[in-house]
Amino acid sequence: MAIYKPDIDKLMANDDVEGLIEALFHEDLVLRKEASRALKYVGNEEATDALVETLRYDSWQEEYSVMGSVRAYAAEALGRIGDKKAVNGLIDALEDPDSEVRWKSAESLGKIKDLQALESLIYSLETDEDEYVRKFAARALGELKDPLATDSLINALKDKEWAVRKSSAQALGRIGDKKALKPLLNVLNDEDVDVRRQAVISLEKMKKHAIKPLLEKLYDFDWQTRAISADALGRIGDRKATMPLAKALSNSRKRDENRYVRGKAAEALGRIGDVRAIPYLEKALEEKYIYVRKRAKDALDLIEISPELEHYENEFFSFDYHNAWLISEINQKGKLLIGFCSKNNIKFSLNIKKDVEDLTADEFADVIIDVFNEQNALKVTKQPLNIAGYSGYEVQSDNFEVDPPSRTSVYIFRSNGDLYYLWFAGKPSDIKNTSKYIKITLNSFHLKL
């Protein structure tokens, strides 16, 4: 007699949690793997106890490699569900023989954010031989935001693996312990540019405490360190940085030799909005490098309307915006923000897609193009674009056959595993008249990683 095998795809399509739980204990181990993966997407708290049981390692599983995947998917599903009843099981799984189970358990503990896991995560960061486990343990400690983890994270800034150092720098920024200020400054000399950039982002969060040391880094021997320091000073926005940045841009004696640093200095001056920078920016308009000239022109435009700028911030992101935008946070179903322009009939939103795995910004831009084409758009264009320091794409769609004619501009980029897109829609003439406000929004956008 044949063994009954449930159709996992059908159970998943029907959100049949009970059926998937039953499949978790099927004698076909591959079906168990498929069921645990499905619960990652459709699970709810009804599945917590079964997933915790599935996560538990037993010596007989050593003979079946597929069981490592079953436990790993179970750990991931528990993180997505977020039920605190899973915390003890996930803590135990930090000692699983399979490294994927360990790092996914660490990641899930970070999502659940229960301080019971603090000590175990610190131990994993300090002792686990696998770099992914140390990396996700550091990230999870950042989510817990407990200063008791500060010392271990500072030590991890010297880890041999760049990804661990980066995650530790990120976590220290989230915790915000002033004890980490000097170690993070030392990281600005790290051999890896991503680690240095993350250290700067964390220093930004310490705001005024970081200004003086960041100003000193404007004279670092490494041009990339000077550039990201200039960027950080602009994002902090304190006017103490105005003249050092202005001199780095176009002072005859202190002008930086690197055009990218000068461009970042111009960009930072625009964000700070201090009128004392205007003559230096105007001088930079005579630069032979278009990159610097463009950044100087954008900065002058920004300073011109800076008295009318406001600042918006939540736990995910911050940006400066012209008060023509009327905004409200909704933070639901992947839509972080919605609003419209009071001067022109333009609607906008900021959206997030989490856990999109291997979907690139380029591929998502193509998806948006397909949607526009299905809507019979008259003209659709796509071009690469730098969006607040992130590599991304602009997709624009025109439809002149509707009344009134409409234009939609979508700006897409990825960061830290998530995909973001800003969406603006209105009449073509209104989009054109509001382009300066859109540019300010894009250029000042900053994710709080």
Q: Give one DSSP letter per residue of 271-339, joined into a string.
A: HHT-GGGHHHHHHHTT-S-HHHHHHHHHHHHHHHTGGGEEEEE-SSEEEEEETTEEEEEEEETTEEEEE
**Cβ 321 vs Cβ 309: under 8 Å:** yes
Tell me, yes or no, whether 33 lies in a domain: no
In a domain, 85, yes or no: no
**Do 277 and 345 have their domain in common?**
no
User: Do 242 and 359 belong to one domain?
Assistant: no
- Which whole number is the average pLDDT over 115-133? 97
Mean of the pLDDT values across residues 174-196?
Answer: 89
Which of the 8 DSSP states describes residue 3? P
Last residue of a domain, one of 304, 322, 350: 304
Residue the block writes with tokens 């309307």: 305
Cβ(368)–Cβ(380) below 8 Å? no
Alpha-carbon distance 54 to 132, whole Å?
22
Residue 236 belongs to a domain: yes
Last residue of some domain: 288, 304, 320? 304
Same domain, 263 and 326: no
CA neighbor of 215 nearest in space, from 192, 197, 199, 232: 232
- Domain containing 254 — which CATH number? 1.25.10.10
**Is 189 a domain residue?**
no
Are 73 and 47 spatial neighbours (Cβ–Cβ below 8 Å)?
no
Query: What confidence category does residue 333 fall into, taking pLDDT thresholds of 50, 70 and 90?
Result: low
Q: Where are the alpha helices (DSSP H) in 157-277?
A: 162-175, 181-187, 193-205, 208-217, 223-236, 242-250, 259-272
Query: Total domain count for the chain?
Result: 2
| Judgement on whether residues 297 and 316 belong to the same structural domain of the protein | no
* CB atoms closer than 10 angstroms to residue 312: 16
Tokens of 44: 């709810």
Residues 344 and 438 in one domain: yes
pLDDT of 89 above 80: yes
Same domain, 299 and 382: no
In this structure, are residues 336 and 329 in contact, taking their beta carbons and an 8 Å threshold?
yes
| pLDDT on residue 1 | 38
Of 40, 34, 80, 72, the C-alpha closest to 54 is: 72
pLDDT tens digits, 278-324: 999 999 999 999 999 999 998 998 888 877 888 888 777 888 888 88
Report the distance separating Cα 187 and Cα 216, nearest Å. 14
Would residue 227 count as lying in a domain? Answer: yes
Q: CA-to-CA distance for 103 and 98, rounded, in angstroms?
A: 9
Q: What is the phi-psi region of residue 396: left when phi exceeds 0, alpha when psi lies from -120 to 50, beta otherwise?
A: beta
On whether both 316 and 439 belong to a single domain, the answer is yes
pLDDT bin (cut points 50, 70, 90) of residue 78 is very high
Q: What average pLDDT is seen over the chain?
A: 89
Determine the pLDDT at residue 310: 85
Please check whether residues 429 and 410 belong to one and the same domain.
yes
Tell me the mean pLDDT in the region 249-265: 92
pLDDT of residue 72: 94
Both 434 and 315 in one domain: the answer is yes
- Asked if the structure places residue 7 within a domain, the reply is no
Q: Is the pLDDT of residue 375 over 60?
A: yes
Determine the straight-line distance between the first and last CA of the chain, rounded to whole angstroms: 55
Whole-number Å distance between alpha carbons of 206 and 180? 10
Please report the pLDDT score of residue 3 as a whole number.
Answer: 62
- Of 29 and 330, the one with more pLDDT: 29
pLDDT tens digits for range 216-242: 889 988 898 899 889 889 888 899 999
Is residue 234 in a domain?
A: yes
268 and 350 co-located in one domain: no
Closest among 95, 67, 64, 93 to 78, alpha carbons compared = 93
> Within a domain: residue 172?
no
| Last-in-domain residue among 287, 304, 321 | 304
> How far apart are alpha carbons 383 and 219 in whole angstroms?
35
Burial class (CB in 10 A: 0-12, 13-18, 19+), 214: buried
Both 217 and 238 in a single domain? yes
State the Cα–Cα distance between residues 210 and 265, nearest whole angstrom: 17
Confidence of residue 354 (pLDDT cuts 50, 70, 90): confident
Q: What SS3 class is residue 353? A: strand
Residues 318 and 248 in one domain: no
Question: How confident is residue 40, by pLDDT bands cut at 50, 70 and 90?
Answer: confident
How confident is residue 265, by pLDDT bands cut at 50, 70 and 90?
very high
Identify the CATH number of the domain in which residue 409 sits. 3.40.1000.10
Contact of 44 with 82, CB cutoff 8 Å? no
Q: How confident is the model at residue 442 (pLDDT cuts 50, 70, 90)?
A: confident
Task: Supply the range of the domain harboring residue 250.
Answer: 207-304
Mean pLDDT is lowest, of 12-26, 71-85, 152-166, 201-215, for 201-215
CA of 48: how far to CAs of 69, 103, 206, in Å?
A: 17, 19, 38
Q: Are strands 325-332 and 390-399 parallel, antiparallel or unpaired?
A: unpaired
Q: Which residue has the higher pLDDT, 402 or 413?
A: 413
Angle at 130 between CA 125 and CA 133, to 5 degrees: 50
Q: Counting every residue, how long is the chain?
A: 449
pLDDT > 50? residue 2 = no
